[in-house]
């Protein structure tokens, strides 16, 4: 007869299946939930009775680059293609006003370097609004 006490194994709870079920339920509810907007703001914008004219007109500052790489500033051709000449012409035309927009119009056959040079000169002078004008293809 064996009178020794037998050691009992501690019971173990396996949580793996429980975690699997919870994750499957979470995925199911996430996929099957529909999000509905319940409230949307409706804003009625004010209407003006008459058009107000602006107090001052902003002068146009335009750089045109031809296919040969020649620069024009406000319809006046520069004597050479040097960036210093372009910088002096822009400074003369703009004065101290650096808030006005600058429009760059380049021919489709002009080089990329000519356009970058114009943009660099405009940025170094302190202009912050630079526009590049394009046109749609004609049928």
- Find out whether 89 and 73 touch, Cβ atoms under 8 Å: yes
Tokens encoding 109 = 């056959």
Q: List Cα–Cα distances, 41 to 16, 37, 38, 94, in angstroms.
A: 47, 11, 10, 45
Q: Is residue 21 within a helix (H) or strand (E), and if so which, with residue range?
A: helix 16-32
**The pLDDT of residue 17:** 87
SS3 2: coil
pLDDT tens-digit readout, 15-35:
888 899 999 999 998 888 876
The single residue listed with the structure tokens 């699997």 is 20
Q: Which domains does the chain have, with CATH numbers?
A: 61-133 (3.30.420.270)
pLDDT tens-digit readout, 57-66:
556 799 999 8
Least confident of 51-55, 85-89, 93-97: 51-55
pLDDT tens-digit readout, 112-133:
999 999 999 999 999 988 988 8
Q: Report the predicted TM-score, pTM, of the whole model to 2 decimal places.
A: 0.55
């Amino acid at each position: 007869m064996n009178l020794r006490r037998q050691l009992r194994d501690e019971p173990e709870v396996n949580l793996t299946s429980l975690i699997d079920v919870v994750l499957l339920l979470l995925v199911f509810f996430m996929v099957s939930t529909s999000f509905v907007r319940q409230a949307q703001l409706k804003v009625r914008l004010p209407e003006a009775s008459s058009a107000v004219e602006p107090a001052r007109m902003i002068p146009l500052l335009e750089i045109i680059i031809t296919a040969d790489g020649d620069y024009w500033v406000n319809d006046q051709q520069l004597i050479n293609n040097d960036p210093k000449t372009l910088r002096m012409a822009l400074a003369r035309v703009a004065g101290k006003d650096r808030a006005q927009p600058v429009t760059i119009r380049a021919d489709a056959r002009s080089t990329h370097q000519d356009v970058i040079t114009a943009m660099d000169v405009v940025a170094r002078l302190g202009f912050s609004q630079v526009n590049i004008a394009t046109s749609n293809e004609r049928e």
